[in-house]
Structure 1
Amino acid sequence: MYQKSGHHKDCNCLDRRSLLKLAGGATAVGISGGSLLFAAAARSDALTKELRDKLTPDQIIQAMKNGNERFRKGERKERNYLREQEASAAGQYPAAALLTCIDSRAPAEVIMDLGIGDIFNARVAGNVENADILGSLEFACKLAGAKVVLVMGHTACGAIKGAIDNAELGNLTGLLAKIKPAVEATDYKGERSAKNYDFVDAVARKNVELTVANIRKDSPVLAELESNGAIKVTGAMYNLKTGAVEFFT
């Protein structure tokens, strides 16, 4: 059972796990622990523009790392999703945009201890990019202000296995074709088959690396934002067995 925060249930500041708090509190944004801004963050039930804008891309990534560490320890804090929903209804200010797989065992918000309004999450089998995904990421960063684009693959990925096996099924055939360059580009000395999970995971990692590179290549909007230091584009791998997210940065 998850540990509770220890605050009284009637306290206004009890359980909002905003990205500011995930990043370690006031020190994560370079302000003093006694500042009014941090006090406001503690009472907040949704990430605000003011708080989000004070975070750097590296601090946001560290916040996700910290959240995953809590998840692995079973120490996720109590949160009130209804209050988060109500607080974010009038506007959203997510700190990051994630491109992840549809696998039911890899929900980013859960495994990184995030709440409603903290991140955008585009999900597609094999976490591949296409024009629609790129447009969504461009909206998230250029128009909505997200500062991190994170492509997250995972171990034992079914889409990766399908690409290795040259599976064909309706529209899935075209989707798996986007993963095959990663199969070909993976340097692996052992058995190169979907039955070899070490090879599957190696391809999944390479697929993340190529997707990150393709995002930079295929989206001048995001590439410019990254070159200007406004955002960071990076990758990660989630281990289904250990619950750990390995960030590439």
Structure 2
Amino acid sequence: MYIHSKENQSKLTPEIAFQYLKEGNDRFVRNLRANRNLLQQVNETRDGQYPFATILSCMDSRTSAELIFDQGLGDIFSIRIAGNVLNEDILGSMEFGSRVVGTKIVMVLGHTKCGAIVGACNNVQLGSLTQLLDKVKPAIAQETVTQNERTGKNSEFVNNVTEINVHLTIQRIKDESPIIVDLLQEGKIKIVGGVYDVDTGKVDFFED
């Protein structure tokens, strides 16, 4: 599997980048991973990197974006934090990836059975984690379908909050980053969302 060069990256469109993610997840689900020589990729990326995607995902040990999308060294910027929440530093990292390095797609990836989402639904209070989980509270507030048992024990409620959290994070990116909005309007990048199913390995993609 080839390494993305500067020339190759510059020719990519946001739609092609999106297709790369879809195809990679399909290979992952079917256990048909691309043949890669990782040591060769180490050598080929030693003088520079030209990734095609910037992905914000959860720190959950089951949700490595490189594996889920069957990508190699130098292919994606992977930003990971519990609950795939957004803060100023993460937004700055996205701007660096998109504007400075030239990635063609920004993705926010949630996942099923997320401990951070469950914790927020249960109103967990624990040191600095409390402030992190507070960032999920707007998604809980917007989940109006569930009238009873609005806790982490209700898997349907948790799944709804998980997806809403992704949508709200995408909206915050658009609201808080003029740099990314400019790139969107110029057609240089695409922003997409998705939820990874830890039972099947499949990502359900969506565009806002």
Band of TM-score, shorter chain: over 0.9
**How many positions carry a matched residue from both structures?**
206
Does residue 248 of the first structure (1) align with residue 183 of the second (2)? no
Looking at structure 1, the residues matched to 184 and 34 of structure 2 have their Cα atoms a distance apart, in angstroms, of: 32
Looking at structure 2, the residues matched to 63 and 143 of structure 1 have their Cα atoms a distance apart, in angstroms, of: 21
Structure 2 equivalent of residue 54 of structure 1: 11
Shift of 1:99: 0.4
One-letter amino acid matched to 1:236: G
Partner residue of 1:152 out of 97, 102, 109:
109
Structure 1 equivalent of residue 149 of structure 2: 191
Aligned residues with identical type, % of pairs: 47
Q: Deviations over 1:91-144 (max 9, x none)?
A: 000001000000001111101110000000100000011100010000000100
One-letter amino acid matched to 1:70: R
3-state SS of paired residue (1:230): coil
Unaligned runs of 5+ in 2: none
Looking at structure 1, the residues matched to 60 and 51 of structure 2 have their Cα atoms a distance apart, in angstroms, of: 22
Partner residue of 2:122 out of 158, 165, 168:
165
Structure 1 equivalent of residue 69 of structure 2: 112
Does residue 213 of the first structure (1) align with residue 141 of the second (2)? no
Kindly report the root-mean-square deviation, in angstroms, between the aligned alpha carbons of the 2 structures. Answer: 0.9
Looking at structure 1, the residues matched to 65 and 10 of structure 2 have their Cα atoms a distance apart, in angstroms, of: 22
Partner residue of 2:36 out of 64, 79, 85:
79
Does residue 228 of the first structure (1) align with residue 181 of the second (2)? no
Within a 5 Å distance, the mapping from 1:94-105 to structure 2 comes to 94-105=51-62
Shift of 1:224: 1.0
One-letter amino acid matched to 1:247: F
Q: TM-score with structure 1 length normalisation?
A: 0.81
Looking at structure 2, the residues matched to 131 and 76 of structure 1 have their Cα atoms a distance apart, in angstroms, of: 35
One-letter amino acid matched to 2:189: I
Does residue 239 of the first structure (1) align with residue 197 of the second (2)? yes
Looking at structure 1, the residues matched to 183 and 141 of structure 2 have their Cα atoms a distance apart, in angstroms, of: 30
Looking at structure 2, the residues matched to 172 and 86 of structure 1 have their Cα atoms a distance apart, in angstroms, of: 39
3-state SS of paired residue (1:92): coil
3-state SS of paired residue (2:32): coil
Shift of 1:155: 0.4
Shift of 1:49: 1.0
Unaligned runs of 5+ in 1: 1-15, 17-43
Within a 5 Å distance, the mapping from 1:123-134 to structure 2 comes to 123-134=80-91
Looking at structure 2, the residues matched to 208 and 69 of structure 1 have their Cα atoms a distance apart, in angstroms, of: 21
Looking at structure 2, the residues matched to 93 and 80 of structure 1 have their Cα atoms a distance apart, in angstroms, of: 18
Looking at structure 2, the residues matched to 235 and 95 of structure 1 have their Cα atoms a distance apart, in angstroms, of: 16
Q: TM-score with structure 2 length normalisation?
A: 0.97
Looking at structure 2, the residues matched to 103 and 153 of structure 1 have their Cα atoms a distance apart, in angstroms, of: 10
Does residue 176 of the first structure (1) align with residue 133 of the second (2)? yes
Partner residue of 1:89 out of 41, 46, 50:
46
Structure with more contact order per residue of length (Cα contacts < 8 Å, sep ≥ 6): 2
3-state SS of paired residue (2:41): helix
